[in-house]
Amino acid sequence: MMVEGMEIRALAPADAEISRDLIVWASVAWGSELTDEQIEQRAKRLADGIASAAPDKVAFLVARRAGVFVGQCRVFQDKNESSQWWLSGLVVDPAYRRQRVATALVAACIDYARNKGASAVRSETDVENLASIRLHEGVGFENLGQFTDDDGDEKVALQLILRDHR
């Protein structure tokens, strides 16, 4: 799915230098305040992840409009079931919400996983995040129901079966 004036691409090892900018941007978009130390720790972890990412197993996708970050997400192969992939970390800048940025990012993650041979893409979100649940269901994910994660948070499990996987 293309959104006019927006570029979506997977980050490459050469992009590790922008990890701090991405962490700062994401913390603002998520509405969380991070200390400088937390920003530096997360930026290092992201830079290391980008630099060491095996493209056949994980991709960090970013959306930009006019050179400005407007959204990001990650898609990665399940460690136990290689045909299963996960979508996580989807966030869109509040100023760009309701402009199909999230839908385009999810579509890009699905395409990436499909091209790597995935038979399904899974995701989970907080039970209160109705916008995320509607987004997932709107692009074809099936709502598998609620569960409590290891941290005690109530989540919704979602899955999209890729009918034409390779």
Report the CATH number at residue 145: 3.40.630.30
74 within 8 A of 58, measured Cβ to Cβ = yes
What domain count does the chain have?
1
Summarised one tens digit per residue, pLDDT across range 105-157 is 999 999 999 999 999 999 999 999 999 999 999 999 999 999 998 889 899 99
Residue 127 lies in a domain: yes
Alpha helices per DSSP H over 68-163: 101-115, 130-138
Residue 108 lies in a domain: yes
62: which strand partners? 9, 72
Residue 166 lies in a domain: no
Residue 120 lies in a domain: yes
Residue 53: what residue type? Answer: A
Stated pTM of the model: 0.82
| Lowest-pLDDT choice from 20-34, 36-50, 91-105, 128-142 | 20-34
Range of the domain at 80: 6-161
pLDDT cut 70: percent of the chain above it: 90
Residue 1 lies in a domain: no
Q: Which helix (H) or strand (E) holds 68?
A: strand 68-77
